[in-house]
């Protein structure tokens, strides 16, 4: 009868966790590859509109962002709630756009300049006045490829 | 003797790194409506108003209250796509609508007080009208989805339905 009792009484061996770091590292690499670093902290509230006819932006490195929206509560205390433009990390006026475009152009290869896209991330509550001012400045700076950032919508009119 | 280095904290280190990346990065791929702005006119060029037959224009006006006026008629955003398609694919049948898609021009004009959301919705619906027409044409001609066509075929379809959207500078009339 002693045949079966040999294993009894012994605690189950601990599960080996030696491979756990490897699993986590795989996850880590996945995230490193699949995501991009957040370059700017948003100082304006941006909730982009929804649309159906969306196109993907091909080249992330050739895209520069222009944010327009109400300042976040921190800044609203001093700046009020009128919509503001944010370029890189600071608030800006439409007059700063031309300089901004020049700065962005310096960053990329000369041959790629014609493919640069400016992506407007504009809050849906914003009125068109300020948006048209920005568009006008972009035309002056000869930056004509423009993207209106939006999120997908499923229901169709 | 047990000389193995204790690796149990490795997982924690990796977790910390992982959480750091989760916090500092964004996943969202940017999507949106791609457009091309018209170049700024040179100072010395004269602006010549090319005569466009009234039937070939499709003026869409949006006021500061986000209401649409299309060719003199009040219209809701829900109808815009269908009506725009009718206008574009008229091919001379209705004397009020376009001669052919090649001549047809959609003209947008908004107020400085129009909301950005409405502006995007109008752009979206006009684009949707063109995309649907191209899709239908592609099904008729090649029996395939527009997206599955090769470059030359897509070009052919695009030539049949060129996206001609002109935007006027916004007016300031409303309470903006």
CB contact under 8 A, B169 and A132: yes
Residue written as tokens 């700063």?
A96
Task: Please write the tens of the pLDDT for every residue from B23-57.
Answer: 877 666 678 899 888 888 776 666 666 677 788 88
3-class DSSP state of A80: coil
Instruction: Point out the least confidently predicted range of A56-65, A95-104, B76-85, B109-118.
Output: A56-65
> How close is the nearest chain A Cα to the Cα of B20, in Å?
10
| Overall domain count for chain A | 1
A134 within some domain: yes
CB contact under 8 A, B31 and A132: no
CB contact under 8 A, A38 and B24: yes
Handedness of CA B80, B130, A123, A68 (dihedral sign): negative
Task: Please write the tens of the pLDDT for every residue from A52-98.
Answer: 989 888 777 788 899 999 999 989 888 888 999 999 888 999 999 99
A18 within some domain: no
A48 within some domain: yes
A16 within some domain: no
User: How are beta strands A151-152 and B25-26 bridged, if at all?
Assistant: unpaired
Chain B from 117 to 136: CB within 8 A of any A CB: 117, 119-121, 123-125, 127-128, 131
The CATH number assigned to the domain holding A118 equals: 3.30.420.270
3-class DSSP state of B59: strand
Name every chain B residue with its beta carbon within 8 A of the beta carbon of A21. 7, 10-11, 13-14
Closest Cα partner for B30 from A85, A118, A34, A150?
A: A150
A74 within some domain: yes
Length of chain A counted residue by residue: 157
Reported pTM:
0.79
Chain B from 12 to 31: CB within 8 A of any A CB: 13-15, 17-18, 21-22, 24-27, 29-31
Domain boundaries, chain B: 56-167
Backbone angles phi, psi at A37, to 5 degrees: -65, 140
> How close is the nearest chain A Cα to the Cα of B73, in Å?
19
Q: pLDDT category, B176, cuts 50, 70, 90?
A: very low
């Amino acid at each position: 009868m002693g045949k079966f009792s040999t294993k009894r009484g012994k605690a189950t061996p601990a599960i080996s966790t030696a491979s756990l770091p490897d699993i986590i590292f795989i996850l880590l690499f996945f995230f490193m590859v699949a995501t991009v670093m957040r370059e700017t902290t948003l100082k304006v509230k941006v909730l982009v509109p929804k649309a159906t006819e969306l196109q993907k932006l091909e080249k992330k490195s050739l895209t520069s962002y222009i944010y327009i929206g109400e300042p976040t509560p921190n800044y609203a205390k001093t700046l009020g709630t009128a919509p503001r433009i944010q370029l890189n990390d600071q608030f800006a006026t439409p007059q700063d756009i031309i300089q901004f475009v020049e700065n962005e152009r310096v960053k990329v290869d000369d041959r790629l300049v014609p493919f640069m896209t400016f992506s407007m991330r504009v809050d849906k509550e914003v009125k068109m006045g300020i948006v048209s001012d920005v568009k006008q400045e972009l035309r002056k700076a000869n930056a004509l490829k423009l993207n209106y950032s939006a999120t997908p919508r499923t229901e169709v009119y | 003797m047990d000389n193995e280095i204790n690796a149990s904290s490795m997982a924690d280190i990796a977790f910390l790194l992982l959480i750091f990346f989760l916090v500092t990065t964004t996943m969202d791929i940017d999507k949106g409506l791609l457009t091309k702005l018209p170049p700024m006119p040179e100072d010395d060029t004269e602006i010549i108003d090319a005569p466009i037959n009234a039937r070939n224009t499709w003026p869409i006006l949006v006021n500061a209250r986000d209401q649409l006026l299309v060719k003199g008629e009040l219209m809701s955003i829900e109808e815009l796509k269908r009506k725009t398609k009718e206008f574009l694919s008229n091919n001379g049948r209705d004397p009020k609508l376009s001669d052919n898609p090649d001549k047809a021009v959609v003209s947008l004009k908004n107020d400085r007080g129009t909301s950005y959301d409405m502006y995007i919705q109008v752009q979206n619906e006009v684009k949707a009208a063109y995309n649907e027409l191209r899709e239908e044409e592609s099904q008729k001609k090649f029996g395939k989805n527009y997206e599955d066509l090769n470059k030359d075929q897509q070009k052919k379809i695009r030539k049949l339905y060129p996206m001609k959207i002109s935007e006027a500078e916004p007016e300031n009339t409303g309470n903006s």
